[in-house]
Amino acid sequence: MVNPSKLNADLRDSICISCHLEGDVSVERSGHSALDYRPGEPISTFLAFYVKSGSKLTDRGVSEVEQLSQSTCKRISGDRMSCTSCHDPHLTPGPSEKAAFFRNKCLVCHSRPEFATNHYPENKDCTSCHMPRTGAENIPHVSWTDHRILAKPVESTAALAASRGGELSPIFSPGATIRDLAMANYQALLEGDRSLEPIAWEQLNADQDRIASDKAALDALGNLSAERGYLKKAHESFQKALALDPYDLTALSNLGVLLAKEGRLSESIPILQKAFASNQDISGLAMNLARVQCMAGDGSAARATLNTALVYCRNLQDMQRLLTQMSNCGAPVAR
């Protein structure tokens, strides 16, 4: 068990960040998994967080730590203030106690009479004005408390947004590297921002020597290379990733598909089978393998692949439909 109050500010805040900071994009640092983080360690060792300049802090559902960092209260208090300054991890006040509970937290600092007695005495709930509920655009039908602690509730971020561009910048991520930024741009691309494709491509290519032992970055470079039609480069990237991890699912499945598209079925099938052997619940992988087996004229193998996957995805209509088509597998496709 770790007591946050006995940790330095970075390690203390890392515990809160692990659940209450999302950013626009977060990426695992090279050689690390987010699942390996343990309280008492700096989370920046495991994850790098990025935000897109110009986006409103209240647009993201999980951004309490980020919002708090922008508040005047936090900026003036520095490391003395943290999430636990207001929140007790072991206590959630009931509805009838909530206003008084958080008001007392405010009065620890704002104890002068103009706040304690004269400031809107008819409303004892400080948060109702200074921390209103707001909608989260990335999570429909969910509202979150605005942790910016605005002095004037009508303050807007419109002017701030208008003054910024749209580039990703690291937040709470000391030591973030060019590789991390490249992977953040790549992740944002996967999430739908196509404008970042040339940026991710340029950054990954510029960092090739340093990502030679980074399978996640090699997978990203392989995928972008394949999408651009640079098949030799895609093959090389996936092969390098497999040299680091022979069971890397991304490299196995994507390299197998590339080989199949090139008509190299005898090379494709063992690679896809290796991926499928330990990932039989992934329907897309099963259907790709079955299609390649069918192209090779092995209908029984294709049907066996789909029937194995259907144990995990019984009601998946696309897979059931494909299974009915496997009876038409004939001679291997000539290339």
pLDDT of residue 60: 59
CA distances from 268 to 48, 91, 255, 273, 331 (A): 35, 56, 8, 9, 17
Quickly count: other Cβ atoms within 10 Å of residue 274's Cβ: 17
DSSP string, 211-237: TTT-HHHHHHHHHHHHHHT-HHHHHHH
Q: Is residue 286 pLDDT above 90, yes or no?
A: yes
Confidence category of residue 316, pLDDT binned at 50, 70, 90: confident
Which H or E run contains 170?
strand 168-171
Helices and strands of the chain, counted as H and E runs:
16, 5
Pairing verdict, β 25-28 and 168-171: unpaired
Single-letter amino acid code for the residue at 73: C
Query: Could you give the CA distance from residue 119 to residue 257 in angstroms, rounded to a whole number?
Result: 67
Which H or E run contains 52?
strand 47-52
Three-state secondary structure call for residue 112: coil
Query: What is the average pLDDT value for the chain, to the nearest integer?
Result: 88
Provide, rounded to the nearest whole percent, the portion of the chain with pLDDT above 70.
Answer: 89
Pairing verdict, β 25-28 and 143-145: unpaired
**Mean pLDDT over residues 302-318, rounded?**
91
Q: Give pTM, 2 decimals.
A: 0.83
Give me 270's structure tokens: 């063992």
Q: Is residue 236 pLDDT above 60, yes or no?
A: yes
Backbone torsions φ then ψ of 230, nearest 5 degrees: -90, 75
Query: Could you give the CA distance from residue 223 to residue 255 in angstroms, rounded to a whole number?
Result: 9
> Could you give all domains of the chain from N- to C-terminal order, each with its CATH number?
4-162 (no CATH), 194-328 (1.25.40.10)
Give me 49's structure tokens: 């967080």
pLDDT of residue 314: 80
Provide, rounded to the nearest whole percent, the portion of the chain with pLDDT above 90.
Answer: 68
Locus of tokens 């007392």:
104
Q: Is residue 102 pLDDT above 70, yes or no?
A: yes
pLDDT of residue 141: 40
Q: Which tens digit of pLDDT belongs to each residue from 43-81?
A: 999 999 999 876 666 555 567 888 898 899 999 999 999
State CA 296 to chain mean position distance. 38
Three-state secondary structure call for residue 135: strand
Q: Which tens digit of pLDDT belongs to each residue from 202-211?
A: 999 998 899 9
Confidence category of residue 153, pLDDT binned at 50, 70, 90: low
